[in-house]
Structure formats: structure tokens, C-alpha cells
Structure 1
Amino acid sequence: MAQALLSPEYLTMIATGFVVGTAARMSTIKEDTRQYPSYPNGKFINVITGAVAATIGAVFPITLITQNFVGVSFLMLAVQQFRDVRKTERESLKDLEQSEYTPRGAAYIDGIAKTFESRNYLSLVASLLCVLTMMLIPGHQYVLEIPAGALLAFLVVYLLRRYTKGKNIGDFADIKLATLSFEGSMLHVDDIPVANVGLPEAQDLLKQEGLAVMITPRTVGASIALAHYGQRQTIIHEASRTFGLKRYLYMRRDFHNGRFCFAFVPIRRDAGSLLELVAEVPLLESTRKSERLSNQNVLPDQGGD
């Protein structure tokens, strides 16, 4: 049994599945201004857990063929440990909440933790399909088996990523820079009264260095999604974390037509990048169902109040 497990044929399958599964996990790690993780240690941890998942997927079918049921039991136990990845990430992000410019919020943290867990399963599925494909091709022709296994695995990974990819704010809402103005001490973002800012110094700082964004939903479902506090919290968290927060942060939702606006004084003032960032903020899973429920119902033309 040990010889069968360590035969060149099986070793080639395991090595190929490991490489394909690890590559699939690495392909899901994006480095941009909003995605977590974006630091070397975070990326290294994700690569290692992806490699472990790829190893499990590559070894699992071979343990079944060789009737190594002890190995099967061990691998099933290892798969269960991936559920702890979600718990670990959730606890880690919650510990960082008090040190953030603006908290992520429970809804965003839950979405990040689920994503971390699901991407490990993506690596496992890729390596498993690669090895199974190689097993089904007769004749042990490595020149044919390896490309066929890798091609099918990456095709399935591509389809799964397309299927599991969620929407972004820019997919269902119009985003534009808004005008900051004051009527007395009341701060207005376009035509929406946002907050009472009494100090003249604060008013001057907002006028000179402040930025404001107006987000207008296109459909009834989008309006429901923006009404979710966790979704709005995610938007202002990404804005303040990416551009810094020199002073002040105000947000307000227009209850009449579902518009949402926020204003702040960033450390890095880049209006164009801010609009791109807001458009790329993900639609949270906790709001996705309500957005799909009525995404065909287009809201009427939304002018001022």
C-alpha cells in the first residue's frame, strides 16, 4: 500500500494538484486600496493555508483508491479545521475595531471571514479536480494528463469565481462628488442637511479641505441595500481607512429617496480615487438578498427634496 501511494504516478498527481490548488488560491489574493489582506504577512498566511487546502485536495482521491481509510479520516479532520479560519479572522478583525479610523462593523467582518474560508475550499476543489482528471485519463501520459488536469481545474475555478462574485456599490448606484455648503451652522451636502457644525474653524476646514460623496440608488432593491447600516458603515470605513481621516466624518441618508451621502476631511485628498474606491466597495452578503428581491424595480427620477 505504501509503495502504491509513493509510486511516481501518484507523486506526480499529488505534486500537480498541489501546484494547481496553490496557484488557484494565489489568484484570489488581490492587492489594491480596499481589499483585505494587503500586507505581506496577511498574504503569506493566505498562501500557506491555500497550500494546505491544495495538499488535502490532491491527496484525498489517492487515499481512497489505495484504501487508506486512516488517511481519509485524517484528511476529513483537517478539512474541519478550515472552519476555524473564519472564526480566527473574525476575532482578529474585531480586536482591531477600536484602532481603526472608522470601525468596519459586524456585517463587513462577517463577510470577510466567510470569504477567507470559502477561498480555501476553492483551492481544495481545484487540486481535487486536477487529480481526478489525471486519474481518468488512461495510459499515464503525463504530457496529456498534466495540462488536461490543470486546464479543467482552472476552468472550474473561473466559473466558481464568476458565480460567487458579488456586486459592488457601483453596480447598482450612481456615485458623484457632492458640494459642501453651510446655511448658518448647518452643513449641507448638496441639498441634504447633514450636521450642525458650530465652530468657525471646523467650517473653514471643511470648506477648504473637505470632500463629500453622494450615492444615489438606481433601483428599489439598491435603496434597500443602502438603507442597511452595515452597508453604509462599510463605505465610510473604506473611505477613511484608505485616505486617512484628518478631522470630522459625517454621513446622512435621505429617507425620501434613499440617497446616502458622507463628508469628511481626508489626509490624502484625491477626489477621483475616492469615487473609484466607493464604486468598488462590495455589496455585503447580509444585504445581497434584499437587493436581488426587487432589482428590476427602477426608482423614479430623483431630483431634490
Structure 2
Amino acid sequence: MDYGGAIGLGLLAGILARVLMLRSDYRQYPTYPHGYSTHLFMGIFASLAGAVTVPALLEGEWTAVTFFLLVAEQFRSIRGMERDSLKALEDSELVPRGTEYIENIARVFETRYYIVIVVAAATALGAIKQSPLMGLVFGAVVFMWGAILTRVETIGETVEVEAAPVIVRGSDVLVGDIFIFSVGLKESQEFIKERALGAILTPKNDEGRDTLASQGQRQAMLHDAASILGVRRDADNPEFAPQAKRDIKTGRVAVYVVPMDKDQGLLLEMLRRAPVLESARGRARFVRLGYVGKRHLHAGRNRIGGNHPEGGLGGRHR
């Protein structure tokens, strides 16, 4: 296939990949239509960069490498653009996303453009070296590989989410057996008894426990739940604000929400579907790998004669 056709095919494949990755869900970002328009146009530029680079390199135009690196550097600004846009909305949110959630969203958008560039380049390369059909196959394989690498875990995979009663005991508000806060107004106490929903999140394993330990992760869950259920509060009603409190003895987390729509099942589903933030997931896996590393280190020391500073079999110099 000639270079012009390969570039066109790579461009179309890259645009298609961006469209498939551009979806709006209950988190409402990107919004329609301006968010879609911005990311579609940026997807076209990313696709063109990837598709054009391959023929240039095949012709020995090594300056294309510099061009490609400059383009990739420009797409790093996507992350900053998303971060700034979401941070600008934080002050007006009744339930903020939190800085960790914002950074996670921004990182995802940046990564998607790199996938688009590689899909376009792989499609163009396959079309030139083999055939248009093989080019599309190459592009599809790269796209699926990228989708697997960027798959987002959900809270429900490592945490058991169960309904729990909201109990008002005197001035104390509890979800199950976990204390949330104290409220003195009788009117607020009665309203909480009538309208509040609760859930208990129990980690299934060490990774789930460390994920729930992240304050940013808990704030992200509250934002997602509030975005679909709504909240019965204004800026001057802190007792109606969603909260997530952790039991430090067991690692369980109690979620307290006073929603506009009192739907217990929907609350549980939103909590299960909340994404695990990379910062929380990375911390959990680091802890797990660190523990395994220490265990192997101690085992190795025991095999060679204990913790003698000189090493050696039996602790003797050799």
C-alpha cells in the first residue's frame, strides 16, 4: 500500500480508537458537547502524528523522531489541562472529587492519547509492510493491548460492600457499629433517621484494606455516590454531608449519605463500581511486595547462618 493510503488508514484507525475510548458515564466527564469536541479534535492530531511518523522513518527521515518526541511532549499538556479544569470546579462541588481523583482522571486522559498514537502508527506500518487488512489487525491488537493495560479496577473487586443501618444514639450517629459524628439538633437527628443511608465496606484481602486506608480513595467513592444519588445539603448543612469513616482496628469503612433519592441498592452499586485510584492501588501493591521482599530476605539470612554481619556459613569468616 502506498504511503498516502497508509497514512489515511492509520488516521482513521486512530480516530476510531479515540472515539471508542471517549465515553461519558455517571461521573459526567467529559461533558457533552464541548468536552467531546475538544477530545475528538485532539484525537485527530494524535492519530495524524502517529500515522505520518511511520512512512517518514521508513524513508530514513530521522528528523521525524524529533518531530514525534515534540508531539508526544505536547500531549503531556493534556494532563495539565484536565487537572486545571477539574480543580476549577472543586470549590463549587458540594462533594468534591479530591486531588487524588483529579490526578487519576488527568493521567487516564493523557494515556489515552498515547494509545491513539501507537494505534495509528501500528496500522500504518501494517498497511505498508503487509496489506490494509493486516494494518487494521495490527491496530486492533495494539488497541486491545492498551485497553488491558489501562483497565481500571473497581472497589467491588477487593472490598465487600454491604448495607448497614444508620443509628442515632443520643447525639451520636453511627453506621452499624462505626461512629460517624455527633449532632445536637433534634430536627437534624429525626431527618437523619428518616432519610440517611449507610454501608459498610469490608476488605477481602490486604490489598483491599490498604486501598480503603487512602483518604483520597474514600473521597472519590463519596463523590461518585453523590453524583448519581444527589445530596440533601447546602454549604451550611455539614451534618448532611456524605462521610466515610474508617475503623482503625478492623480496616472496615462506614459510608454515610443523606441522598436526594433514597435507594439503598443504588448506593451499594455506586460504591462497588467506584474506580480504584492508581495512588491507592500502587500503595497497596507496594506494601504487599515489600512484605514479600522482607520475608525472602529473612529466609535467605536464615539459610546462610543468621544475621551475622559478615554473612558466611554458620556465621564464620570465610
1:197 corresponds to 2:183: yes
Preserved contact between residue 180 and residue 245 of structure 2 (Cα < 8 Å): yes
The alpha-carbon deviation at position 73 of structure 1 amounts to 3.7
Is 1:159 paired with 2:159?
Answer: no
AA partner of residue 221 (structure 1): E
Structure 2: distance between partners of 1:228 and 1:185:
28
Which of 32, 35, 39 is the aligned partner of 1:39?
A: 32
2:86 alignment partner in structure 1: 93
- The CA distance in 1 between the partners of 2:36 and 2:187, in whole Å, is 42
Distance, in Å, in 2 between the alignment partners of 1:176 and 1:283 is 18
Q: Do the aligned residues in 1 keep the contact of 2:127 with 2:136 (CA within 8 Å)?
A: no
1:130-145 pair list within 5 angstroms: 130-137=123-130, 145=131
Larger Rg: 2
Within 5 Å, which residues of 2 pair with 1:108-119? Answer: 108-119=101-112
Q: CA deviation at 1:102?
A: 1.4
Gap change, CA 1:132 and 1:286, over 3 Å in 2: same
Written as runs of structure 1 = structure 2, the 5 A alignment for 1:1-305 is 9-34=2-27, 36-68=29-61, 73-137=66-130, 145-247=131-233, 248-249=240-241, 250-292=243-285, 293-294=287-288
Deviation at 1:115, TM superposition (A): 0.6
Residue 234 of structure 1 aligns with an amino acid whose one-letter code is A
What TM-score results when the alignment is normalised by the length of structure 2? 0.83
Deviation of the 1:112 alpha carbon: 0.8
- Kindly indicate whether the alpha-carbon contact (under 8 Å) linking 1:34 and 1:277 is maintained by their aligned counterparts in 2: no
Deviates more, 1:35-44 or 1:241-250: 35-44
> 1: distance between equivalents of 2:163 and 2:32?
30
Q: Deviations over 1:267-291 (max 9, x none)?
A: 2333222221111111111111232
The CA distance in 1 between the partners of 2:222 and 2:70, in whole Å, is 40
Tell me the amino acid that sits aligned with residue 81 of structure 2: T
Return the alpha-carbon distance in structure 1 between the equivalents of residues 288 and 64 of structure 2. Answer: 48
* CA contact 1:34–1:238 (8 Å) conserved in 2: yes
* SS of residue paired to 1:96: helix
CA contact (8 A) 1:108 1:230 kept: yes
Deviation at 1:68, TM superposition (A): 4.5
CA contact (8 A) 1:215 1:260 kept: yes
Given that 2:78 and 2:110 are in contact with CA atoms closer than 8 Å, whether structure 1 keeps it comes out as: yes
Gaps of 5+ in 1: 1-7, 138-144, 298-305
Give the Cα–Cα distance (whole angstroms) in 2 for the partners of residues 72 and 156 of structure 1.
Answer: 20
CA distance in 1, matches of 2:271, 2:165: 17
Q: Percent identity?
A: 34
Deviation larger for 162-171 or 29-38: 29-38
Q: 1 CA distance for matches of 2:121 and 2:96?
A: 38
Q: Distance in 1 between matches of 2:132 and 2:261?
A: 49
SS for the counterpart of 2:2 is helix
* C-alpha distance in 2 between matches for 1:61 and 1:35: 36
Q: Which runs of 5+ in 2 are unaligned?
A: 234-239, 292-318
Partners of 2:264 and 2:175 in 1: CA distance: 15
Three-state SS of the structure 2 residue aligned to 1:165 is coil
Instruction: Measure, in 2, the Cα distance between the counterparts of 1:107 and 1:146.
Output: 42
Q: What's the offset of the Cα at 1:224? A: 1.3
1: CA distance between counterparts of 2:262 and 2:34? 28
Over the aligned positions, Cα root-mean-square deviation in angstroms equals: 1.9
In structure 2, the partner of 1:300 is none
Deviation at 1:69, TM superposition (A): 5.2
8 Å contact kept, 2:3–2:128: no
Specify the code of the residue in structure 1 equivalent to 2:47. A
